[in-house]
Amino acid sequence: MDIEDKKQHIRIIRHACMMLNLPFHVCVSSITLADILFESGVKRKSSLPVIYAACIFLASKVQETHQRLRDIINSVFYIVNQLSEEEIEYDLSEQTPDESNPLYKYMKIFTLQEYTERKDQVFQVEQHILRVINFDFSIFDAKNYLETITKINIEIPADAEFAQLKQLCFGFANDFFMTFPRCSLPSRSIAAGCTYCSIQAILSNLDSSNPDVNVIKFKERLAEFPLKFRAKEEDIVQACQTILNITQEKL
């Protein structure tokens, strides 16, 4: 994903969440879902505003903030229109606006037909995100799972050289929570454990005798990642052991 595109979707999602007065963790979770979707390589069929709205809507549900979908759609489309310098039009012909809503004065008021179409599109993208992530958000601790992959997404850069590391981490996190949906470990410990196990998997495929400077620097950078989560050592060990047990059972 182009770095400018990434900056753009971060800016739009952040502004929409601020307009909706959503907590910071919902914002970063929404950005994580967008990152995963765009980096999956799946061809985009929906408009960008619909994708942003779907990411915020899904993160809001998992984080239990229960933001109205209509408000999410309105705020995202307003911001995208502002960024593209399009004129905002107010069409009140088919609905009565809720003027008590503090967002009313900022946003475009869609007709009922327009809202229904966009709502259906958001639901379709939401299902697409779930297929890409390959995780069942109906399980008990989906909130902890989303926080875990969000921490991984924040701490591991989007550089191409670390793409494999990030994907391995997401895979281990998925297996972890699908196997133990009621795990009591904090998300930062699970994220650190997933990262450590992913690093070991990558290092096992590297030639340890390779004197190449770039390879040595790559190994040094890999070793830094588990420390970024600031998790307790005993919790990381427990998370790693759990991941290893799950991996062995799958073999």
Residue 121 sits in a domain whose CATH number is 1.10.472.10
Question: Same domain for 162 and 121?
Answer: no
H helical segments located in 20-141: 24-39, 48-62, 69-83, 112-133
- State the total domains in the chain: 2
Structural domain of 112: 3-133
Region for 8 from its dihedrals, namely left if φ exceeds 0, alpha if ψ lies in -120 to 50, beta otherwise: alpha
Sequence-distant (≥ 6) Cβ neighbours of residue 185 within 8 angstroms: 235, 238, 239
User: In angstroms, rounded to a whole number, what is the distance separating the alpha carbons of residues 115 and 94?
Assistant: 11
- Which domain-ending residue is among 133, 168, 201? 133
Question: Same domain for 177 and 100?
Answer: no
Question: Same domain for 101 and 182?
Answer: no
- Which domain-ending residue is among 74, 108, 133? 133
Question: Each residue's pLDDT tens digit in the chain (251 positions)?
Answer: 566 777 888 999 999 999 999 999 999 999 999 999 988 876 667 889 999 999 999 999 998 888 899 999 999 998 888 876 443 343 333 344 454 554 444 455 567 888 889 999 999 999 999 999 888 888 888 999 999 999 999 999 888 888 899 999 999 999 999 999 888 899 999 999 999 999 999 988 876 666 666 777 778 888 888 889 999 999 999 999 999 999 888 76
Question: What pLDDT score does 150 carry?
Answer: 95
Name the pTM for this structure: 0.80
Query: Taking a C-beta distance cutoff of 8 angstroms, is the pair 52, 19 a contact?
Result: no
- CA-wise closest residue to 110 among 74, 76, 144: 74
What sign results for the dihedral spanned by CA atoms 124, 46, 94, 105? positive
Sequence-distant (≥ 6) Cβ neighbours of residue 72 within 8 angstroms: 16, 20, 53, 56, 57, 60, 122
Query: Taking a C-beta distance cutoff of 8 angstroms, is the pair 49, 133 a contact?
Result: no
Grouping H, G, I as helix, E, B as strand and the rest as coil, residue 131 is helix
- Amino acid making up residue 186: P
CATH (domain of 201): 1.10.472
Question: What pLDDT score does 221 carry?
Answer: 83
- Looking up tokens 């981490």 gives 169
User: In angstroms, rounded to a whole number, what is the distance separating the alpha carbons of residues 83 and 176?
Assistant: 40
Question: What pLDDT score does 87 carry?
Answer: 39
Question: Same domain for 167 and 146?
Answer: yes
- Which domain-ending residue is among 116, 133, 150? 133
Question: What pLDDT score does 96 carry?
Answer: 44
User: In angstroms, rounded to a whole number, what is the distance separating the alpha carbons of residues 42 and 53?
Assistant: 18
